[in-house]
């Protein structure tokens, strides 16, 4: 794919001043604007690469294909294409939620491209299994698909509130509801289904890049035990629990998030 096409497809943007290149990769329902607090805090110290996953934000939505994005590997391929198009070598990668496993897959494939990784709100498996508590079960998944089909915007608004878990700061849920609501329902539903069906537990031990797992204490989607599980399975992993409401520490606890990034990336 031509460099320019990739840059447009993923609406790639560069900002910040510094030597090290930090890639901020958003999760499901967000887009690159979800990182604005970190961009503000980190841009004096790093060059920052931002992009939108296909189906999100200002990406080229016509590039969405249920086949290419039938698994997170499609998004990992996109990420590698973005890094290659941007001539980004030895990057410092921050992945939130689905972008954690996307970064993991990309870094297993091309470890030389990645200096360090940080995962926020990461999960290799959202569904419960025998001896593994992912947090969702088949009933919960079906209820989610149902609610999304019945009234996507009502679902999105309520989901945003639950994800953010900050009734004392209502604008945070409204901010996420906006990016989430802007996704076309017919794209959002297969993406969330793909995420909930994903299982990358077997990939964890294959990662060779130093990784920091950041787990929020108040995450309603990813149980505390999942963060600990990942830290155990990834060979070069460090683990950090931060006091933060909800699944979006970069919004609910922006200082702690930026601090974690600066202290791990240096």
Report the residue from 69, 93, 119, 136 that binds a second copy according to the rule CB under 8 A.
Answer: 136
Candidate ranges 64-72, 109-117, 142-150, 226-234; the one touching a second copy (CB under 8 A):
142-150
Output the DSSP codes for 192-245.
Answer: HHHHHH---TTTGGG--S-EEEEEEEE-SSS-HHHHHHHHHHSTTEEEEEEEEE
User: The tokens of 50 are what?
Assistant: 């931002």
Interacting residues with a second copy between 181 and 220 (CB under 8 A): 220
CB 50 to a second copy: min, Å: 25
Rounded Cα distance between 98 and 197, Å, is 12
From residue 159 to residue 178, the character string flagging contacts with a second copy as x (rule: CB under 8 A) and all else as - is xxxxxxxxxxxxx-xx--x-
Rounded Cα distance between 76 and 104, Å, is 8
Exposure of 65 by Cβ count < 10 A (0-12 exposed, 13-18 middle, 19+ buried)? Answer: exposed
Rounded Cα distance between 88 and 203, Å, is 24
Active site residue 219: yes
User: The tokens of 86 are what?
Assistant: 């941007």
* 8 Å CB contact between 221 and 160: no
3 or 154: CB nearest a second copy: 154
CB 97 to a second copy: min, Å: 12
The catalytically annotated residue of 99, 123, 181, 219 is: 219
From residue 214 to residue 253, the character string flagging contacts with a second copy as x (rule: CB under 8 A) and all else as - is ------xx-----------------------x--------
Active site residue 97: yes
Q: Distance between alpha carbon 265 and the CA centroid of its chain, in Å?
A: 18
> Is 155 among the residues that bind a second copy (CB under 8 A)?
yes
Q: How far lies 84's CA from each of 113, 114, 130, in Å?
A: 9, 12, 40
- Compute the C-alpha angle 243/94/144, nearest 5°: 70
Report the residue from 63, 147, 187, 240 that binds a second copy according to the rule CB under 8 A.
Answer: 147
CB 174 to a second copy: min, Å: 5
> Is 133 among the residues that bind a second copy (CB under 8 A)?
no
> Is 140 among the residues that bind a second copy (CB under 8 A)?
yes
CB 137 to a second copy: min, Å: 8
Rg over CA atoms, the chain: 17
The catalytically annotated residue of 56, 200, 247, 250 is: 247
Q: Is 120 helix (H, G, I), strand (E, B) or coil?
A: strand
> Is 129 among the residues that bind a second copy (CB under 8 A)?
no
99 or 245: CB nearest a second copy: 245
The catalytically annotated residue of 34, 59, 97, 123 is: 97
Residues with catalytic annotation? 97, 219, 247
* Residues near a second copy (CB under 8 A): 135-137, 140, 143-144, 146-148, 151, 154-155, 157-171, 173-174, 177, 220-221, 245
């Amino acid at each position: 794919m031509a460099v320019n096409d990739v840059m447009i497809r993923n609406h790639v943007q560069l900002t910040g001043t510094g030597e090290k290149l930090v890639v901020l990769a958003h999760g499901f329902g967000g887009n690159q604007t979800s990182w604005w607090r970190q961009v503000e805090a980190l841009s004096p110290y790093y060059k920052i690469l931002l992009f939108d996953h296909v189906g999100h934000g200002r990406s080229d939505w016509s590039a969405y294909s249920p086949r290419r994005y039938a698994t997170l590997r499609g998004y990992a391929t996109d990420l590698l294409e973005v890094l290659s198009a941007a001539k980004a070598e030895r990057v410092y990668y921050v992945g939130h939620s689905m972008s954690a496993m996307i970064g993991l897959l990309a870094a297993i494939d091309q470890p030389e491209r990645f200096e360090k990784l940080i995962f926020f709100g990461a999960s290799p498996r959202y569904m419960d299994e025998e001896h593994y508590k992912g947090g969702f079960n088949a009933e919960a998944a079906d209820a989610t698909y149902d609610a999304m089909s019945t009234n996507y915007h009502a679902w999105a608004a309520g989901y945003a509130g639950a994800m953010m878990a900050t009734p004392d700061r209502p604008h945070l849920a409204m901010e996420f509801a906006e990016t989430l609501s802007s996704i076309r329902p017919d794209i959002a539903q297969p993406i969330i289904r793909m995420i909930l069906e994903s299982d990358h537990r077997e990939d964890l031990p294959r990662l060779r890049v130093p990784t920091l797992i950041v787990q929020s204490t108040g995450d309603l989607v990813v149980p505390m035990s999942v963060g600990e599980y990942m830290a155990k399975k990834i060979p070069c992993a460090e683990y950090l629990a931060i006091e933060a409401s909800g699944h979006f520490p970069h919004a609910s606890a922006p200082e702690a998030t930026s601090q974690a990034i600066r202290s791990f990336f240096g």
